[in-house]
Structure 1
Amino acid sequence: MKRLKLGLWICLCLCTTTLVGQNKVKTTAEKVMLFIDGAQVTRTKQVEIPAGTSTLIFTGLSPYMDAQSMQISAKGKLTVTSVNQQYNYTDSASVSQKQQSLQEELKKTEKQQKEQNAELGLINAEYEMLKTNCSVSNKNTATSLTTIKEVNHYYSTQLKTLKSKELAINEKIEELARKQEQLNADLAQLSGKALTPMSEIAVNVNAPATCKATFTLNYYVKNAGWFPSYDVRSSSLSEPISIIYKANIFQNTKEEWKNVELSLSSSNPTTGNIAPKLATYWLDYGLAAPRYSLNQNGNSVSGVVLDGEREPIIGVNVMIPGTTIGTLTDVNGKYSITIPNGQNQLQFSFIGYQSQTRDIQGSVMNVVLQEDVQMLQEVVVVGYGAEAAAPSYKPSTKSIKKAAAIEEEASMALEVEQSQGQMGYEFEIKVPYTIPSDNKPVVAEIGHYELPASYAYQSTPKIDKDAFLIAQVTDWEKLHLLEGEANVYFENTFIGKSIMNITQQNDTLSFSLGRDKRIMIQRTKENEYTSRKFMGSSQTQSIAWKLSVRNTRPEPVTLTLYDQLPVSRNNNITVTAEEISGGRLDEAKGIITWQITLQPGEQRELPLRYKVKYPKGRNLVIE
């Protein structure tokens, strides 16, 4: 079936070449504006136009170009009568030539194998001849000792020579066998290769006389983009925060972007370092207290992405829809991504495969992508008349496609100018830039900031007894940060990955620097205060907890603790707080907040007691 498809594509290539064999124009990408998802490419070319009607074929454009976005302007004494997109399977001929070359090389290798096996046969024949003639003894004739030594030396020398030749031939045979195996594998892969057609733009023009005209092509293309990531560093609780802002730039458009004017636009792992949040504890008949699951991976999801033959796929885009958070699968098809609070989906996409959006069901998600066999269709685009200036294309803001780099990446610090554009933040890179079409991210530093920060701890021991260090930075809006993953370093130690959560910030930027085991927290039930009493037609249940906190760090720390009371939504059920140890109670949500400062070595206990009154004879689930 694959050979049939290959033959069909070759025929299409030949037919296309026959139809569009007019004046072909090759252009180069000059400017690229990279969005979070996709890119806008600008090309210009001066062309000699003959008098009368003629057709220009602008070749070598991406097959992933959005034809509806194509804008063409022409400056010269001519009229553009029509603009159409078409496809050319330009690589079909090269594939056929490559197959022929591999087949010829395979025949040559097989011939060399036969020759080496023949040589080995001659060696074996010489061995047998030496074995037959190696005896110099004769029953009727005495042989001198000198003669025996000479004969033995001769045969020994011959055997060594033959053995050396045999070893060399066997090594050559093994080498040829490996080469034959590789050639067969290359042929098998090439035979099943789905050819990617390159886009072409056919522009029909009419000129009253021979002239020169400058054409500008402007279009949006998929399979390219960038995503932000950060290195967040702090040496101690008294030092400022260092934020290194990085752009992960990638493209797999099949185009060559060499020394282009590049700009970036915002107009679109393994430990749990995100502090948990409490849900409202609603209290009513038939309702259970909210349950919180805590796994050792925290807010991280990892897994492997495979194809239909259960082989790993390298470079799959794994993204959180509606955010700029994403990553790529590595050489083993594996990925790991940190999930912000409130997000519950992941999207998986890769060129040539059907995209999938999956609900997050746990900390491990393995995905199988199916090939996308839908054929590309020719799309007619709008043409612009002579001297007409094409309106700039403004694609809608979309969510991020991918994130963290696979094993090969380049990193460099760039001279960057930041500005506020109509579609979001823009970063103009001041040096010509080359991005290969291989889907491998090039990591470029686009900002480095030292910011004063305040540090505080927070903990919700009902869910997780660890204390999370939170850094707070003000006056951060001018940095043009985007939501993304951050590698966190504290006290010169890699803590793990967290989220630079920009969308939920106000004038203060807060993010987690991870867990600190030196803040010790316990939440235990006080059974001596827990009781149930009956009085008249009602019953009252008393519940008591004790929160114990201790600071084992060498400096004072500020700690915010969270716990909760149940909230009644039934008039026959009343909840009364008896002891909240100076905490602040949000009566609507039932959340209690304590803000305390602990000196080095200080330990403090915070009793939490409340009672619930409800009718006798009714069952009420209370923790």
Structure 2
Amino acid sequence: MKKSVYRSFPFLILLLGMRIYVFSQNQVRVEAENQHITVFLNRAQIDAKVRATVLTGTSKLIISNVASTIDPNSIQVGGKGDVVIMGVKFKHNYLGNKKRNVLEDSIRITRTEVETLDMLVKVADNERNMLMANASIKNEKDGVTPEDLKEMLDFFRTKLTEIGTRQMQLARQSKEANDKLARLQSQLNSQGGNLNQPAGEIELTVSAKANSTLEINLSYVAHAAGWSPIYDIRAKDVRSDIALAYRANVFQNTGIDWKNVRLTLSTSNPSEGGTKPEVLAQYVSVYEPRPIVARGRGDYNGTLDGKALYSSPAPPEAKMEESIVSTADFVNTIQTTLAVNFDISVPYTVISGGNPEMVDIQNFNLPATYKYYAVPKYDKDAFLTAIITDWEKYNLLPGIANIYFEGTFVGTSNIGNSDTKDSLLISLGRDKKIITKRETIAEYKSRRNIGSNVRESFGYRITLRNTKSEPITIVVEDQIPISQDSRIEVEAEDIQGAEYNKETGKLIWRLTLQPLDNKELILKYNVKYPKGKNIQGL
């Protein structure tokens, strides 16, 4: 008997130890409160606050409302509280997708409502069928008096009216429930993979000597977020400054909604990396092709007798009124060494997986010079352009610009900072009131044999007409062919004062046309080449 007690004693201690362990591991679930989000061109840094109370001993804080696209190596934890942080771990919770759970719960409840209504409709139909099955009236020989008949008619009328009213109500409720179910299902289907995205959680292990209240600062970088620039360019007329609205399309698919957060847009792109490339030794050698091995007993997948002949690399992983105030009036621009940050003081909400949120960054009035450009060789229309100098100081990124001129949308153009020119040229569209024409001078065009060579002469007449009521400045462009063969000679005979770039063959005339003025330009050149040769490019 004593022996049996003695053997159970260690087991009792083990149980006590397990109980102590269980009660010393406190698990607290809290939700991160996202406060400030720095959105890069690709990725976003999320700064959040977490408040929690932990008991004495070791506790695990399960922090939800965390991006599921987090970079685990970027997690930083700090804050106030008399605790020791023992570990930080990120994990996915495949049951914690609140959006999907809410939608699925709504679908489940609505589907139950539809099934209940369908059952009640069948009950009402059966009641009506049973009532009508017993509606036959017998004659007086069977003991039915007029009084009985009146009583029965009143009964049937009352019951049929009651059943009919109930059927109409049920039909209306059933239609509403089915419409709601269809909308919920469509919403679930439209979200696609967004609702299949697992929830993100950060597990924080802390040790406290006493009960403590914590205020934790949480920061991390998340993928599947960013912003892209978009511009609105408005020109009232050719005597006014350019009004440029600098905006951002902010998008995110991090698995959590950014609700009423302060945004900072950064021109930095973390995906490009910040490490300079290293120049390694560049070796040269004589290329000696290997002999081609005939296929023998091998298959057709690059193997011979079971040995690989080559290995394939692994595939890569996969018009606004002036009185209206916009968020651009609440943006503080901060120039850092490597980037520009636009700090927006107005809170924004950006839904995960939703449409991009348009954010106004800045509004500029840019002094501009207006010129017309024409290339009659390719297009008979003249194009109005605005030329902006010192444009690089406005921190413009490459992007699409919507162009408005004289209150009308004229199209889109590209704008950016990748051009090394001192000025930025913005096309404002076609102007049908500037008429251009390029035609061949037939009497000049000729082909003659000179010894062993052929000499061809080409002549073109370019005519311009300004039908506008004000003078214009126009740049006309054309070209002369360039020879890449010493046997072919190209000679410019008459370019009528044009700027001639012999390396590119480009010709430029800079003209001023008065109202209703006409101008004629002549272009002549000769090409000499050996007889019997077909010359391309003429």
Q: Secondary structure at the residue paired with 1:496?
A: strand
Task: Report which of the two has the higher share of helix.
Answer: 2
Higher relative contact order (CA 8 A, sep 6+): 1
Cα offset for 1:416? 1.3
Query: What is the identity, as a one-letter code, of the residue corresponding to 1:44?
Result: K
Query: What is the identity, as a one-letter code, of the residue corresponding to 1:569?
Result: Q
| Aligned counterpart, 1:136 | none
Q: Contact 1:91–1:196 (CA<8 Å) still a contact in 2?
A: no
The 10-residue stretch of structure 1 (504-513 or 613-622) with the greater mean CA deviation from structure 2: 504-513
Cα offset for 1:50? 4.7
Classify 1:113/1:602 alpha carbon distance in 2 versus 1 (closer, same or farther; 3 Å): same
| Aligned counterpart, 1:388 | none
Query: What is the identity, as a one-letter code, of the residue corresponding to 1:173?
Result: A
Quick check: 1:267 aligned with 2:182? no
Q: Distance in 2 between matches of 1:266 and 1:610?
A: 50
Classify 1:589/1:446 alpha carbon distance in 2 versus 1 (closer, same or farther; 3 Å): same
Alignment of 1:465-480 (within 5 A): 465-480=380-395
| Aligned counterpart, 1:599 | 514
Cα offset for 1:59? 2.2
Quick check: 1:32 aligned with 2:37? yes
Match 1:83 to one of 60, 67, 88: 88
Quick check: 1:528 aligned with 2:443? yes
Q: Distance in 1 between matches of 2:131 and 2:87?
A: 79
Classify 1:592/1:484 alpha carbon distance in 2 versus 1 (closer, same or farther; 3 Å): same
Quick check: 1:590 aligned with 2:505? yes
Query: What is the identity, as a one-letter code, of the residue corresponding to 1:252?
Result: N
- CA offsets per residue over residues 257-285 of structure 1, 9 Å max, x none? 333332111224xxxxxxxxxxxxxxxxx
Q: Distance in 1 between matches of 2:54 and 2:174?
A: 55
Match 1:441 to one of 346, 351, 356: 356
Q: Distance in 1 between matches of 2:161 and 2:487?
A: 100
Q: Distance in 1 between matches of 2:513 and 2:162?
A: 81
Unmatched segments (≥5 aa) in structure 2: 1-24, 138-148, 273-316, 319-324
Cα offset for 1:454? 0.9
- CA offsets per residue over residues 451-473 of structure 1, 9 Å max, x none? 32210011222222221111012
**Superposition TM-score, scaled by structure 1 size:** 0.63
| Aligned counterpart, 2:248 | 247
Alignment of 1:223-622 (within 5 A): 223-268=224-269, 412-504=327-419, 506-622=421-537
Q: Distance in 2 between matches of 1:239 and 1:543?
A: 42
Classify 1:472/1:253 alpha carbon distance in 2 versus 1 (closer, same or farther; 3 Å): same
Cα offset for 1:48? 4.4
Classify 1:244/1:185 alpha carbon distance in 2 versus 1 (closer, same or farther; 3 Å): closer
Q: Contact 2:372–2:473 (CA<8 Å) still a contact in 1?
A: yes
Cα offset for 1:419? 2.1
Q: Distance in 1 between matches of 2:358 and 2:107?
A: 37
Alignment of 1:150-169 (within 5 A): 169=167
**Superposition TM-score, scaled by structure 2 size:** 0.72
Unmatched segments (≥5 aa) in structure 1: 1-19, 134-150, 269-320, 323-373, 376-409
Query: What is the identity, as a one-letter code, of the residue corresponding to 1:458?
Result: Y
- CA offsets per residue over residues 547-567 of structure 1, 9 Å max, x none? 121111111111111111111
Cα offset for 1:242? 1.4
Q: Distance in 2 between matches of 1:213 and 1:175?
A: 50
Q: Distance in 2 between matches of 1:460 and 1:608?
A: 13
Q: Contact 2:397–2:415 (CA<8 Å) still a contact in 1?
A: yes
Cα offset for 1:574? 0.5
Q: Secondary structure at the residue paired with 1:605?
A: strand
Q: Distance in 2 between matches of 1:63 and 1:578?
A: 70
- CA offsets per residue over residues 285-332 of structure 1, 9 Å max, x none? xxxxxxxxxxxxxxxxxxxxxxxxxxxxxxxxxxxx99xxxxxxxxxx
Q: Secondary structure at the residue paired with 1:176?
A: helix
Classify 1:21/1:184 alpha carbon distance in 2 versus 1 (closer, same or farther; 3 Å): farther
Q: Contact 2:198–2:255 (CA<8 Å) still a contact in 1?
A: no
Cα offset for 1:573? 0.7
Classify 1:530/1:170 alpha carbon distance in 2 versus 1 (closer, same or farther; 3 Å): farther
| Aligned counterpart, 1:109 | 114
Cα offset for 1:514? 1.0
Q: Contact 1:543–1:610 (CA<8 Å) still a contact in 2?
A: yes
Classify 1:227/1:101 alpha carbon distance in 2 versus 1 (closer, same or farther; 3 Å): closer
Cα offset for 1:610? 1.0
| Aligned counterpart, 1:173 | 171
Aligned Cα RMSD in Å?
A: 4.1
The structure that has the greater radius of gyration is 2
Cα offset for 1:587? 0.3
Q: Distance in 1 between matches of 2:102 and 2:537?
A: 76
Q: Distance in 2 between matches of 1:25 and 1:128?
A: 64
- CA offsets per residue over residues 393-427 of structure 1, 9 Å max, x none? xxxxxxxxxxxxxxxxx975541111212332111
Query: What is the identity, as a one-letter code, of the residue corresponding to 2:32?
Result: T
- CA offsets per residue over residues 475-509 of structure 1, 9 Å max, x none? 43333222222221112222122222332154322
Query: What is the identity, as a one-letter code, of the residue corresponding to 1:197?
Result: P
Cα offset for 1:588? 0.6
Identity %: 34
| Aligned counterpart, 1:59 | 64
Cα offset for 1:52? 4.6
Q: Distance in 2 between matches of 1:453 and 1:534?
A: 53
Query: What is the identity, as a one-letter code, of the residue corresponding to 1:29?
Result: N
Query: What is the identity, as a one-letter code, of the residue corresponding to 2:171?
Result: I
Alignment coverage as a number of residue pairs:
451
Cα offset for 1:113? 3.1
Query: What is the identity, as a one-letter code, of the residue corresponding to 2:37?
Result: V
